[in-house]
Structure 1
Amino acid sequence: MTLLKVDNIETYLDQFHILQGVSFGVEEGTITVLFGRNGAGKTTTLRSIIGFHTISNGAVYYNGGKINGLTTHMISRKGIGYVPENQGIFSDLTVEETFAIAQTRKNDETDEKVEWMLDLFPDLKQFWYKKSGLLSGGQKQMLAIARAYINSEGLLLIDEPSKGLSPIMIEKLMDSILKMREKTTVLLVEQNFMMASQIGDYFYIMDNGKIVYNGPMSELKENKETCHKYLGIS
């Protein structure tokens, strides 16, 4: 089942035409990775889906319903969680307080999500009463992902989770995202090709605001020419 469908969307930032007819789909229960060089339009794509940027043409469908034109809050209420590149963590809040805010609809389901996140990210349980601003970069990323997951119902958009992290923390984080596929669907923007290619099921490559190549991840691993042309990987 196609959970998220992006249909020929165009987005302008000021006078700049950033997204120029972007189309792709995300199948339920998968990890789909959006690759591309810096400035290709990956972050703008996520921000257009979640409603931070206005889509001038085209449409976005989630669970069969059109969501572009709705406010970011309304899109979030439909079940889409978003982890921005800068994590969006409130430094003065403790881990406990961040989890509490994430449970906007506190019930048995969200309680179970909290427990699962603490099992998946034991560092967060260890620092439960610690202010978020005192966490390491990797721990902040764990907290950002946990917060988004608890408040979502089916789809997570994650932007550059490995940025600025140590190789050990990147591997740990990617393993956790892979495990999350058991519970949710993930659309991942990631520059670390080596790690993302190990956990992704499908991929799309963006270049200059357009999708230029896509397919199963196993296909991309074997296509060195495409990797070099669009991602600079030799």
Structure 2
Amino acid sequence: MNQEEQYNEFDKKYEKIVSDYDIRKIKKPENYNNLTYEDEEKQNYAQKVANMYIAFSNEMYKLIEEMNKYMNETKKRENIIQELKELRIDCIMMYIQSLQEKTKIDNEIHSFNMMKAYQNILSHKKELKKLIKDGEERDKKILEMMGIFLSIFSLIGVNLSFFSNIKDIDIWNILLLIVVINVLLSDAIKVIFSIIRKEKVETIVEKIFRKIITCIKEKTK
């Protein structure tokens, strides 16, 4: 078989591969451009196209190998005709193009999966922040409740201790001391709650002190 006849044989094989693995035979879904890879139709179509490119590239690679073997043996005896050289170049170009198209599909799917994974991470991050915030609010309420009970028992304990130790003190002095003790304890409790809530509060002692300073300023005018 001379080179012209062999060229015709290779050309027939080339045309057959191109015809058998034509992606236009795969029906493209309607509104394809509006679909995402979450849609089953687009997933199935992309997978069929990718498989077609894989099969096409495999067959084209076999043909290229066959042509290389023939041309390497032939060039030892005579020069290779231009038609064979050009056909082999066409086969190589088609092979490379099929691999590029397959890679393009893989990249689209990979990019979509990465974006979906990123969105899932953001969603979980928001949920985690909400859980942390809810936990902080719950802990704050627990601390407030504990503070209230401790405050009540502290006031009761201080007053009982005070009454148990008094003997011959005037009743008005006793009442005055009770008022002072309870005011100081109330201010201390306010300060504790302000620290827990991270808020600025003005205690009774601060109010009295501010009032005294205001009176002094008015008197010295």
TM-score, length-scaled by structure 1? 0.18
TM-score, length-scaled by structure 2? 0.19
Structure holding more helix per residue: 2
Larger Rg computed on CA atoms = 2
